[in-house]
C-alpha cells in the first residue's frame, strides 16, 4: 500500500500550506471569471444542458480543426491519462515511458499491473513491435520537445502512442495545436485545469481517430462514464475567452520566466528550458528527496525528481503572480548562497 501512497500527489497534499514559498503548483491560479467577462447563467444552462456535451465537442472541434466525433470529454486530465493507459494496454504488450516523466504516466499502468518499460530517451529508444509509448508534450518536468528526447521519429511513425498535451497551450500558439495534426494514429489529451485555471470544473478532452474515440468512450465506463454537464457548459464559456486569457497568462509567465533565468544563471545552476511550460527541472548533486526535504525545512516547496522517475533534481514551477514569485526567488537565492559546502544542493 505504501507504493500507492508515495507519489507526487501525496507529496503535494501532505506538504501544501506548510511553507510560504510554494514552487509545486504547475497550473495557473484559479480563474476569476469576472476578470474576463465570463458569466455563467443558470437559465441559459437549463436551456442547453441536454446538449452540453455536443456543444462542448463542437467548441473543441472548431478550436483544433478536427471532427466533432474525434473528441471525447473527460473529467479532468487524470481521467485522460487513465483512459489512454487502458487503451495502450489493450493494444500492446509493453508500454514504453521515457523518464523523467510525469509520474502518473508510469505509475498508473504499473499500479494496474500492466507491463511498463521505463527508459532514458536521450540514450535509448522505445521498442517497436507490440510496444506502445506514453509520454507528455512538452515534457513534464523538463519542458523538452520530442526532438530533444529522441522521440520525434517514433511519434511520426505508425507506432501506437498516447500523449498528454496538458502544457501545449503554454507555448502560446495563435490557434490550439496538437500532435494529432501530424499523426492521426496518436491519442492525445489535455485539460482545462492548467492553462485556463479551471480546476473547479474538472474538464478535459481527448482527441483521436473516430474508431479510437468509440473504444475510449466504452473504456470510460470503467471510470466516470460522463462529465458533469454544468462543467461542460462552464468550459465552453471559458474557452470562448481563450485569447483574453492567453494574453494575461503570457504576461505573467514572461515576467516570471525572465526572472527565473536571471536567478538560475546568477546561482550557476543547471536547469531545463522554461520557455515552453510553467516549470523548469533543476539538476542537483544529491538525491532528490533529501534535497527537497531540506528545502522544505528552509521554507521552500519543490517537487523531487524521484516522483518523475529519476534520482536527482527537482521540478520548480513559476505560476504565482510576479510579486509573489519575486519573493519566492529571493528566498531560493538565499538558500543556495547559504548552503554550506554544497550540502543538500
Are residues 249 and 232 both part of a single domain? Answer: no
The pLDDT value given to residue 341: 58
CATH number of the domain where residue 221 is located: 3.40.640.10
Same domain membership, residue 220 and residue 79: yes
Alpha helix positions (H), the chain? 2-5, 8-15, 42-48, 52-64, 76-91, 104-111, 152-156, 210-219, 229-239, 242-267, 288-297, 322-338
- Would 65 be classed as within a structural domain? yes
The answer to the question of residue 306 being in a domain is yes
The answer on 183 and 54 residing in a single domain is: yes
- pLDDT, averaged per 10 consecutive residues of the chain (345 residues), comes to 73 92 97 96 95 98 97 96 96 96 96 94 85 96 95 86 97 95 94 96 97 96 90 98 98 98 96 97 95 95 97 97 97 88 59
Residues ≥6 apart with Cβ < 8 Å to 297:
none
Same-domain status, 176 and 268: no
CA dist., res. 237 & res. 254, Å (int): 26
Tell me if 264 is assigned to some domain: yes
Whether 257 and 293 map to the same domain: the answer is yes
| Last residue in a domain, options 240, 257, 291 | 240
Is 125 in contact with 139 (CB distance < 8 Å)? no
Q: Which pTM value belongs to this model?
A: 0.95
342 occurs within a structural domain = no
| Same domain as 153, residue 49 | yes
Position 345 in a domain = no
262 and 190 in a common domain: no
Domain membership of residue 289 as a residue range:
2-30+243-337
Is residue 219 classed as helix, strand or coil in its secondary structure? Answer: helix
Residue 343 belongs to some domain of the structure: no
Asked if residue 156 is part of any domain, the answer here is yes
Residue 344 falls within a domain, yes or no?
no
- Write the CA distances from 280 to 2, 13, 75, 77, 154, integer angstroms: 28, 21, 27, 21, 25
Same structural domain for residues 161 and 284? Answer: no
Give, as one character, the DSSP assignment of residue 7. S
The alpha carbon of 23 is separated from its chain's Cα centroid by a whole number of angstroms, namely 15
Q: Domain check: are 189 and 285 in the same one?
A: no
Instruction: Please say which residue of 205, 240, 275 terminates a domain.
Output: 240
Pair (293, 316) in one structural domain: yes
Output DSSP code: residue 277.
S
Same domain, 155 and 197: yes
Please state the domain count of the chain.
2
Q: Are residues 230 and 265 in the same domain?
A: no
Domain boundary, last residue among 240, 255, 278: 240
Amino acid at each position: 500500500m505504501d507504493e500507492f501512497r508515495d507519489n507526487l500527489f501525496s507529496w503535494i497534499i501532505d506538504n501544501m500550506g506548510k511553507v510560504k514559498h510554494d514552487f509545486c503548483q504547475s497550473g495557473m491560479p484559479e480563474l476569476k471569471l469576472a476578470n474576463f467577462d465570463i458569466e455563467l447563467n443558470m437559465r441559459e444552462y437549463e436551456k442547453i444542458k441536454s446538449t452540453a456535451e455536443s456543444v462542448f465537442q463542437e467548441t473543441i472541434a472548431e478550436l483544433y480543426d478536427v471532427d466533432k466525433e474525434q473528441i471525447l470529454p473527460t473529467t479532468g486530465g487524470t481521467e485522460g491519462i487513465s483512459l489512454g493507459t487502458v487503451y495502450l494496454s489493450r493494444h500492446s504488450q509493453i508500454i514504453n515511458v521515457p523518464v523523467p516523466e510525469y509520474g502518473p504516466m508510469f505509475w498508473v499502468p504499473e499500479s494496474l499491473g500492466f507491463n511498463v518499460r521505463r527508459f532514458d530517451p536521450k540514450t535509448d529508444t522505445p521498442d517497436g513491435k507490440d510496444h506502445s509509448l506514453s509520454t507528455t508534450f512538452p515534457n513534464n518536468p523538463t519542458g523538452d520537445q520530442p526532438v530533444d528526447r529522441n522521440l520525434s521519429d517514433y511519434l511520426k511513425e505508425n507506432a501506437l502512442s498516447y500523449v498528454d498535451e496538458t502544457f501545449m497551450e503554454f507555448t502560446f500558439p495563435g490557434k490550439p495545436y496538437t500532435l494529432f495534426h501530424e499523426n492521426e494514429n496518436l491519442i492525445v489529451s489535455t485539460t482545462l485545469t492548467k492553462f485556463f485555471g479551471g480546476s473547479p470544473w474538472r474538464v478535459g478532452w481527448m482527441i483521436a481517430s473516430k474508431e479510437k474515440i468509440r473504444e475510449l468512450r466504452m473504456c470510460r465506463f470503467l471510470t466516470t462514464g460522463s462529465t458533469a454537464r454544468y462543467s461542460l457548459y462552464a468550459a465552453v464559456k471559458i474557452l470562448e475567452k481563450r485569447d483574453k486569457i492567453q494574453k494575461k497568462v503570457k504576461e505573467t509567465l514572461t515576467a516570471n520566466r525572465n526572472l527565473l533565468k536571471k536567478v538560475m544563471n546568477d546561482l550557476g545552476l543547471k536547469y531545463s528550458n522554461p520557455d515552453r511550460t510553467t516549470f523548469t527541472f533543476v539538476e542537483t548533486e544529491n538525491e532528490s528527496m533529501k534535497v527537497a526535504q531540506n528545502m522544505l525545512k528552509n521554507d521552500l516547496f519543490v517537487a523531487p525528481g524521484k516522483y518523475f522517475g529519476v534520482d536527482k533534481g527537482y521540478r520548480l514551477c513559476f505560476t504565482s503572480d510576479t510579486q509573489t514569485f519575486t519573493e519566492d526567488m529571493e528566498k531560493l537565492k538565499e538558500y543556495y548562497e547559504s548552503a554550506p559546502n554544497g550540502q543538500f544542493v
